[in-house]
Every structure is written in structure tokens, then in C-alpha cells.
Amino acid sequence: PMPVPTCSIGDHEFVRAAGHAGRLLPAVIHDALVDFADAPPQAGAIVLRGLPVGCLPQTPTSPTAATDKDRVSEFTLLTVARRLGHPVGYEPEHGGDLVQNLVPVQANADRQVSTSSKVTLMFHTEAAFHPHRPRYLMLLCLRGDEHAVTTLSSIFEVLPHLPGRVVDTLFQPRFRTAVDESYLHGRSNVLGAPMSVLSGERDRPTMVFDADLMVGTDDEADDALLALSAAVEARHTGLALQAGDLLVVDNNVAVHGRTPYQPRFDGYDRWLQRSMAVTDLSASAGQRVDRVIVTHFGA
């Protein structure tokens, strides 16, 4: 077991201790993370199983509700995040917490947000609209639900099945992305500047895609998005995370979503914790306070 600091989760000391704890990870997990960072696998994600989550109280009723729990799961998440890069928070998301609780919220059941339950969460790059989006997304399962399937699809899996003309279009800056409603706080949405969906090497590109928020700037671009969306749907995998499972997603390669499920709201519903990491802290320096990125969106 790794010694968990007593200071606040967002403190420098907590994050530093998590970084130091990387040397205490089992060799098989440490090496899997090194290999994953060096060369993401075809799926664009890995699952680590049997990680410590500590002693759990009842599932909180909202992401920011106070919970009487130890900090084992948070330390576990940040240890992995620190091994891959620099954990960051995003101010509009749960106040910028470095570790965020993802739990079903009745009022959000039908919305395209992480606390929904009744809807299919559409495939998306995490924070596709953001100039400082995370490189890595980490989802640690504290309490699972066999009907809530996290879905994944990777550009490496999809690319061979896309026509050349579609790929050509996706490499061009002919797409715009609206902002996730959780970042707007009631402000009106705006489309970002034109961008490409694919970039980098033709045969191993990176991808930024959001099936819900992204639009083409012309008919051919819209058709390319539809083709990509269909290919992603046709070639995705899914897993119902169980307690102690940690899903690590390369946000440059894979998109993710979730199937609908029916929470009971009895204190034992699905409970994930989420952390995000960047590989370069300096890129967001002008729009970041400590480890919290504060970029403003909306009109």
C-alpha cells in the first residue's frame, strides 16, 4: 500500500507525493504505463485492474457533494496521472478539481453530460473544443454497474475503413466545434475556429472528434463527419468497468462514450472518479492558475 498524504487533494504536496509514489507501482503496471505513453496501442486505451480504491461510503448524490471517504482512490488516480504527465483541472468542471466524482444525477439524466444515465453518451474526444484539452483521460471505477458500458473507438481501428477522399477532407481545417454545456454556465454557445479532425502522420494520425458538438463548414465536410461517425459506431469496443478498474485513454487517439443505464439512487449507484493530464504544463500558462485551467468560453 502507498502512504496517502493528509493534505488536501489539490495541494502541491499531494500531487508531488503521488508523483513520488510512481516508483512504488507494481512493475507490470509501471511498465504498461511507460509503454502506453511511448506508443499507444491500437485501441488507444488500456485497462489496469485491481487498483486500490479504499473504503467507500455511499455513492454521493452529486459530483461535488461531501463524502466521508479516505483518499486512497484519489491518490491512486493521481499517481497514474503523474506517471503519464501533469494532472490538471478545468475550472468549469467541478470547480477545477484534479479528481472528479462521476455519479448519476437525476436532473441530468437526459443530457449529454457525464452525470447522465438515460441517454447514450455520444462518442467524443474529451474537451474537443478546448485549446488545452487533456492528453490523457483516466476513469477509475469505485463502484460499477454492469449495464453502464463505457464505449471506445480509436482512429487506428477506423482509419483503414475510411475512403481516401474522406480522410483527405478530415485532414483539412473544415470543421468547427461547439462548447460543452458544462463549460458555459448559462452563456450562449459559440463555434470555435475552423480546425481539422485529423492531423499528423497520414497512417497514424491524431484525432479530435465530437459526434454531438462538431459540424462541417461545408457539405463535403459534413459528409466526411457522417462517414467517420458511422465508422466509429461500427468499430467500437465496450466494457462495463468494475471496482478497481482504471481505464486510461489517449485523448489524441481514442474517443469514448457510454451506454444508457438505470440508476437506483439508493446510495450504491455507479461511481467513477476522473482525472485528466497534459504532457506540457507550459502551453496553458497564460490560462491556468496552479493546476487549474481557466479558459473562458461562450458569449
Instruction: Calculate mean pLDDT across residues 272-284.
Output: 97
Q: 263 with 104: CB under 8 angstroms? A: yes
1 occurs within a structural domain? no
Q: What residues make up the domain containing 56?
A: 12-293
3 occurs within a structural domain? no
Q: For 16-46, what is each residue's pLDDT tens digit?
A: 999 999 999 999 999 999 999 999 999 999 9
Residue 187 confidence class, pLDDT cut points 50, 70, 90: confident
DSSP result, 286-297: GGEETTEE----
5 occurs within a structural domain? no
Query: How many whole angstroms separate alpha carbon 55 and alpha carbon 72?
Result: 8
Q: For 231-266, what is each residue's pLDDT tens digit?
A: 999 999 999 999 999 999 999 999 999 998 899 999
CATH number of the domain within which 162 lies: 3.60.130.10
118 occurs within a structural domain? yes
Q: 204 with 40: CB under 8 angstroms? A: no
The predicted structure's pLDDT at residue 34: 97
298 occurs within a structural domain? no
Instruction: Calculate mean pLDDT across residues 269-293.
Output: 96
* Residue of 64 and 151 predicted with greater confidence: 151
Residue 119 confidence class, pLDDT cut points 50, 70, 90: confident
The predicted structure's pLDDT at residue 1: 65
* Residue of 233 and 117 predicted with greater confidence: 233
The predicted structure's pLDDT at residue 181: 81
270 occurs within a structural domain? yes
201 occurs within a structural domain? yes
Instruction: Calculate mean pLDDT across residues 214-239.
Output: 98
The predicted structure's pLDDT at residue 190: 87
Query: How many whole angstroms separate alpha carbon 178 and alpha carbon 196?
Result: 14
Q: Count structural domains, the chain.
A: 1
The predicted structure's pLDDT at residue 116: 63
Q: What is the mean pLDDT of the chain?
A: 94
Phi then psi for 28, rounded to 5 degrees? Answer: -65, -35
250 occurs within a structural domain? yes
